[in-house]
């Protein structure tokens, strides 16, 4: 395309005569095409949606990015009253005396408890002597463990002791004929001994 063609096309206006159009067939076709397009545009209006998109193109220079999907917030459940009560109780059950967390103290407490129980239901000397030896050995092992372990140990022993007291109380209320004191003492002794072994041997 030469310079005259370029100038003609740049300055072309509908309905304006130009001699270049008469001598250049290519530019004549170009001008005719524009005239046809102009006639069509007068008969076919641009749809509003398309016009809007075209205007947006001119404003931002590129298609608008797709909006990001954001999930809505989930509805909130109320705090259950039972849970609120459990949470309020946390400080009360979280603060045992520090000496109570020592494994040695746990062992001593269980020993005293055992003495008291066997005193109630059996011969204290024959029952406590081997148990005391056994506990003495275990106490040294348990003392090497951490306070956390001691706390667990104490909790288990405490539960067991409550169970044992309940059993003893129940047995005391029974008829003398049905009360088997040596049997209860034996069972308690084995239970404590087994428990001590399991707790001191289970964790290195």
Closest CB to other proteins among 17 and 72? 72
CB atoms within 10 A of CB 19: 8
Residue from 23, 87, 100, 137 binding other proteins (CB under 8 A): 87
Closest CB to other proteins among 52 and 172? 52
Residue located via tokens 């705090």:
79
Instruction: Please count the residues of this chain forming the interface with other proteins, following the rule CB under 8 A.
Output: 25
Identify which range of 25-33, 67-75, 150-158, 188-196 contacts other proteins by CB under 8 A.
67-75
Query: Nearest approach, Cβ of 1 to other proteins (angstroms)?
Result: 44
Check residue 65 for interaction with other proteins (CB under 8 A): no
Check residue 79 for interaction with other proteins (CB under 8 A): yes
Helix (H) or strand (E) holding 150, with range, is helix 147-173
Query: Nearest approach, Cβ of 147 to other proteins (angstroms)?
Result: 13
Q: Do residues 120 and 114 touch, judged by C-beta distance below 8 A? A: no
Query: Nearest approach, Cβ of 57 to other proteins (angstroms)?
Result: 19
Check residue 71 for interaction with other proteins (CB under 8 A): yes
Specify burial of residue 165 (Cβ count, 10 A radius: 0-12, 13-18, 19+).
middle
Residues in the chain: 204
Report CA Rg, the chain: 48
Check residue 83 for interaction with other proteins (CB under 8 A): yes
Residue from 53, 86, 140, 187 binding other proteins (CB under 8 A): 86
Distance from C-alpha of 24 to C-alpha of 37, rounded to nearest angstrom: 20
Query: Nearest approach, Cβ of 83 to other proteins (angstroms)?
Result: 5
- Among residue numbers 143 through 182, which ones bind other proteins (CB under 8 A)? none
Distance from C-alpha of 175 to C-alpha of 111, rounded to nearest angstrom: 29
Residues 6+ apart with CB under 8 A from 97: none
Residue from 88, 98, 173, 176 binding other proteins (CB under 8 A): 88
For residue 40, give the 3-state DSSP assignment: helix
Q: Which residues bind other proteins (CB under 8 A)?
A: 66-80, 82-84, 86-88, 90-91, 94-95
């Amino acid at each position: 395309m030469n310079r005259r063609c370029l100038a003609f096309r740049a300055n072309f206006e509908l309905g304006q005569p130009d001699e270049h159009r008469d001598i250049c067939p290519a530019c004549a076709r170009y001008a005719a095409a524009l005239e046809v397009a102009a006639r069509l545009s007068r008969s076919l209006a641009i749809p509003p949606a398309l016009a809007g998109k075209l205007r947006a193109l001119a404003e931002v220079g590129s298609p608008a990015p797709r909006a990001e999907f954001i999930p809505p917030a989930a509805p909130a459940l109320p705090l259950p009253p039972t849970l609120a009560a459990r949470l309020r109780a946390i400080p009360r059950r979280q603060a045992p005396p520090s000496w109570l967390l020592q494994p040695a103290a746990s062992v001593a407490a269980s020993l005293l408890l055992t003495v008291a129980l066997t005193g109630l239901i059996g011969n204290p000397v024959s029952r406590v002597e081997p148990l005391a030896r056994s506990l003495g050995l275990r106490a040294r092992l348990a003392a090497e463990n951490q306070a956390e372990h001691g706390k667990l140990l104490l909790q288990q022993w405490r539960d067991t002791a409550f169970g044992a007291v309940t059993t003893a109380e129940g047995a005391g209320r029974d008829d003398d004929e049905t009360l088997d004191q040596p049997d209860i003492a034996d069972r308690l002794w084995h239970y404590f001994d087994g428990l001590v072994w399991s707790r001191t041997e289970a964790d290195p």
